[in-house]
Amino acid sequence: MPGSWIDISLPIEPASTAWSGLPGPTLRALSRIEDGAAVQVGQLDCCLHTGTHADAPAHVLANGRTVDRLDPGAFVGPALLLHIEAQDRIGQDELRRLGLDAIRGRPEAARILVATPRPFDGRHFPTRIPHLEPEAAEYLIWLGARLVGVDQPSIDPLDSQSMPAHKLLFGADACLLENLDFGRLRPGAYELAAAPIRIRGADAAPVRALLRPRG
């Protein structure tokens, strides 16, 4: 029997950092029961890339699709969680050594999740990250990936201006999840549920990402 759902999303909290130099999120009360209001009503102000989120093509392409136009089905279904060892990159060679050729076109190849040795905790923004090399992005597309998810704030180097991995995935109509929190989950087959909030015209949107082991 499949196991229980496991939350793999980072929280949005005052200490959260979407990107170095950006202000953190604020949650303020518009009305409070303790002040005599009938209900509590809050307002959240934050960068759309705070915490676990889905990037849309509009994030890197001037005329790219916005997040409300993404296929929600890409974010729900069989997924494969991988663990890589390289500290500075997600490379094609290491992915191939994991035996991924054998799953080409199979359901679990549609959603590839990559756990790196130095996951982003959502608060202490890194200076360098293990980024997805363009050849590795092309390889995942060849496998049939409709979605790629990582535990980093980007799949490209933090100082990248050309964003090659983003553009390769979006050019193949694949979707992207960033800032996932895999904790101590073992690599293997899972069921993913991680559709982004439908924010019209947005370049990204928060996600409550869940995994469930497949039997």
Write out the catalytic residue numbers. Answer: 59
Residues 73-76: contacts with CB under 8 Å, at least 24 apart: 74/110, 74/111, 74/146, 74/147, 74/174, 74/175, 75/111, 75/147, 75/175, 75/177, 75/192, 75/193, 75/194, 75/195, 75/196, 75/207, 76/192, 76/193, 76/194, 76/195
